[in-house]
Amino acid sequence: MPLKAKELPAPEILRAESHPMKRYLRTDRLPHIWCSACGLGTALSCFVYALDEMQLDLDDVGVVSGIGCTGRVAGYVNLDSYHTTHGRAIPFASGLKVAKPKKKVIVFSGDGDLFAIGGNHFIHAARRNIDITVICVNNFTYGMTGGQFGPTTPLGSRGTTAPYGNYENPFNLPYVAASCGAVYVARWTSLHARRLKEAMVEAIAKPGFTFVEIISPCPTNYGRRNRLGEGIDELRYYAEKSVIRHGANPKDADLYPGSEILIGKFVELERPTFLEVYEERVMKKNSGR
Amino acid sequence: MPVNGILSGVHFMNGDEACAEGAIAAGCRLFAGYPITPQSEIAERMSYRLPQVGGVFIQMEDEIASMAAVLGGAWGGMKAMSATSGPGFSLMMENLGLGMMTETPCVVINIQRGGPSTGLPTLVGQADMMQARWGSHGDYGVIALSPSSPQEAFELTIRAFNLAETYRLPVFVMSDEMVGHMYERVVIDPERIETVERRKPAKPPEKFLLYEPGPDLVPQGMPLFGDGYRVHITGLTHDERGYPVIDAETQNRTVTRLKEKIAHNAAQIISYEERDLDSADIVIITYGIAARTSLGALELARKQGLKVGMLRLTTVWPLPTTKIIELAERIAGFVVPEINLGQVVLEVERVVAGKVPVRCVPHAGGDIHQPEQILHAIEEVLKDAA
Ligand code: SF4
């Protein structure tokens, strides 16, 4: 049974001089540009807690972003970080990964960036099984440019370029990722912070093309235009509508206004990575030259 | 036989293959590209050669991705390149801008064909010269080289990598279908090949600023992914730390330096071949395959007793303006043959500034000039000057 909004536990308030995860952040760049109640802050903190849990050497982790509100993540992490062009984080990350195969490369970007302008790169990187993790913050809109509808906007939802409601069929991101060959696919909402962090840990640890979708509120644009209330109301909505079903067929993860939000770990499988196959099928033929 | 992975000895190969061998000799270890005529022989050769030297060939889903992967590979520490032709070059433009803005060393080869659009996939053109100069939005300086033979394709590709490392930007090799597909003797002596390696940051991370320029206006060293410098690069206008700063003052400082770092170092970047300039009344300024036909025209003219010389640009951008101005002071005029409807000639005209006549010898593409066309232009200029 999903929790009812009023039953949500009150958060424990931590008092500290500075952020406990300070060493992962470029504190000289804070405060960030994100709106209050935006899900991006949660997404970023889950990410730094995941890094902390993994105890990785921070010189071994790189973050690549595209353009948009989520694209700004690269600017706030105290890691080698690359804020690229709109939609092109994945191919940039692919080059970075083949140049430094032992390091972890994580793409952090939004739904419009990764699946509209960058959709072609996503499907081919998944097909190649290039060893990167893609974290997509899906807020169903182009936040940075003012709330236009995008490739994940549910049918009928409003955007500034869909004043009569969106008339295009949206992508079901876990299904896209799974069908293109991703070896790990999970979806959580920004309400499910602990599970989201765990999914990030699993995705980053796993070799191959791994994908985590974060359903996230954009109260300023998507939320406001669709009368979803404040950011907290969107979280209440997630609490009410989310259904955790690990191993569910991602085909069933479609989202409609008012529909249940299917979340969980949908795919976890083994497949050799791009560089493993390259080593086996190409490099070995040239050894001893 | 390859020595340390570099081909050596005398070979019979085409200009495309020579570009690939030049890249390998320069230390290129990542090629990211997409098939397109007439550059495919470069990609094919790289797919065969890179695994032999421990490199990676990755065939991307398009040229946008290719350019992005090249930039990523460069920040990962590799000497990286892509090769393409007109339509693919157009697709690369946005990420080329990112490469210019983030001062990322890499090489892009354009085997030019006839355009616009799909144009003449299998036939020669030189009509992307202004695109190389101005193709991505915004202001920045560029370096574009142009080979006239397979031998030169080999050498200029090495030079392109060296210039990219020295001045920290994507460098263009603007070849063409004819040079790309022309088979000639290519002599390679690995002993004589000089390569420039990536400059390491001069300071430790706590003192280092990513874009702090040296006296040559070039950032002092490039920290790679994992070096401990925790770089942040962005296509946004940024300060010396690499952090976005969205204001007019930072824009002025950053973008002016991108342009000035090329202008300031032009003397070291510019390269050309002079022929019979001392005794010339008319000088042909040309480059790439058009220079081969121009040589025929020069010989025809000399046979007729016309005093014609040639300034063959192996670096087209930046243009050797000082040299052209110096010539304009003492000759009767310039003739500029190129396989486009007048591109580099516009810059020549600007530099000559009306001192003497400048005549374009245009060609819309699909074939090379006839030497007689160029000779005719020479005669016309002489008539105008008389
Ligand atoms: S516009 Fe939306 S996505 Fe962007 S920062 Fe504001 S709330 Fe977040």
- If you measure from the C-alpha of residue A111 to the centroid of ligand 1, how many angstroms do you get, rounded to a whole number? 13
Topology alike, domains B9-192 and B273-385: yes
- Which of B53, B61, B103 is most worth mutating to test chain A (most A CB atoms within 10 A of its CB)? B61
Alpha-carbon gap, residue B136 to A240, rounded angstroms: 48
Secondary structure class of B370 (helix, strand, coil)? coil
DSSP per-residue codes, chain A = -PPPGGGPPPPPPP--SS-TTGGGB-GGGPSPSPPTT-THHHHHHHHHHHHHHHT--GGGEEEEE-SSTGGGHHHHBSSEEEE-STT-HHHHHHHHHHHSTTSEEEEEEEHHIIIIITHHHHHHHHHHT-S-EEEEEE-SEETTTT-EE-TTPPTT--BTTBTT---SPPP-HHHHHHHHT-SEEEEEETT-HHHHHHHHHHHHHSSS-EEEEEE---IIIIIHHTT--SHHHHHHHHHHHEEE-TT--GGG----TT--EEEEEEEE-----HHHHHHHHTGGGGTT-
Write the residue in B78, B95, B233 that is nearest to A83 by C-beta: B233
A219 lines ligand 1 (CB under 6 A): yes
pLDDT tens digit sequence for B206-234: 999 999 999 999 999 999 999 999 999 99
Residue indicated by tokens 């340390």: B4
**A85–B94: do the CB atoms touch at under 8 Å?**
yes
Fold adopted by B9-192:
Rossmann fold (3.40.50)
> Is the peptide bond preceding residue A174 cis, with omega within 30 degrees of 0?
no
**A98–B233: do the CB atoms touch at under 8 Å?**
no
Any idea which of A12-26, A40-54, B333-347 has the lowest mean pLDDT?
A: A12-26
Nearest CA-CA distance, residue B126 and chain A, Å: 28
The ligand 1 atom at the shortest distance from the C-alpha of residue A110 is: 3
Alpha-carbon gap, residue A164 to A148, rounded angstroms: 12
Nearest CA in chain A to B50: A283
Average of per-residue pLDDT across A9-35: 86
pLDDT mean across residues, chain B = 97
Sign for the CA dihedral angle at A239, A241, A244, A249 comes to negative
Nearest CA-CA distance, residue A98 and chain B, Å: 7
ipTM: 0.96
**Closest residue CA from atom 1 of ligand 1:** A143
Residue A211 banded pLDDT, cuts 50, 70, 90: very high
pLDDT mean across residues, chain A = 94
Is the pLDDT reported for residue B342 higher than 50?
yes
pLDDT of residue A6: 55
Write the residue in A75, A98, A283 that is nearest to B58 by C-beta: A98
Among A36, A38, A108, A109, residue to substitute to test ligand 1 (most atoms within 8 Å of Cβ): A38
Q: What global pTM score does this model have?
A: 0.96
A34 lines ligand 1 (CB under 6 A): yes
pLDDT tens digit sequence for B358-379: 999 999 999 999 999 999 999 9
**Closest residue CA from atom 8 of ligand 1:** A38
pLDDT of residue B385: 80
**Closest residue CA from atom 2 of ligand 1:** A218
CB atoms within 10 A of CB B233: 24
What pairs with residue B238 in β-bridges?
Answer: B244
Is the pLDDT reported for residue A170 higher than 80?
yes
Is the pLDDT reported for residue A11 higher than 80?
no
Average of per-residue pLDDT across B177-195: 97
Q: Which of residues 83-102 of A touch B (CB under 8 A)?
A: 83-85, 88, 90-100
pLDDT tens digit sequence for A85-112: 999 999 999 999 999 999 999 999 999 9
Alpha-carbon gap, residue A95 to A104, rounded angstroms: 13
| CB contact at 8 A, B186 and B12 | yes
- At B305, list the tokens: 């007793």
**A83–B66: do the CB atoms touch at under 8 Å?**
no
- At B140, list the tokens: 């920045």
**Which has more pLDDT, B363 or B1?**
B363
DSSP per-residue codes, B175-193 = EEHHHHH-EEEEEE-GGG-
Is the pLDDT reported for residue A1 higher than 50?
no
**A98–B76: do the CB atoms touch at under 8 Å?**
yes
Nearest CA-CA distance, residue A286 and chain B, Å: 5
Superfamily of domain A33-287: Thiamin diphosphate (ThDP)-binding fold, Pyr/PP domains (3.40.50.970)
> Is the peptide bond preceding residue A31 cis, with omega within 30 degrees of 0?
yes
**A88–B64: do the CB atoms touch at under 8 Å?**
yes
Average of per-residue pLDDT across B269-295: 97
Find how far residue B105's CA is from the centre of its chain.
13
Taking the C-alpha atoms of B192, B198, B203 and B208 in order, what is their torsion angle to the nearest 10 degrees?
A: 150
Which residues neighbour A36 within 8 Å (Cβ) at sequence distance 6 or greater? A231
Find how far residue B107's CA is from the centre of its chain.
8
Domain residues of chain B, as ranges? 9-192, 273-385
Residue indicated by tokens 């982790």: A61
CATH class of the domain defined by B273-385: alpha beta
Nearest CA-CA distance, residue B177 and chain A, Å: 28
Q: Which helix (H) or strand (E) element contains residue B81?
A: strand B79-84
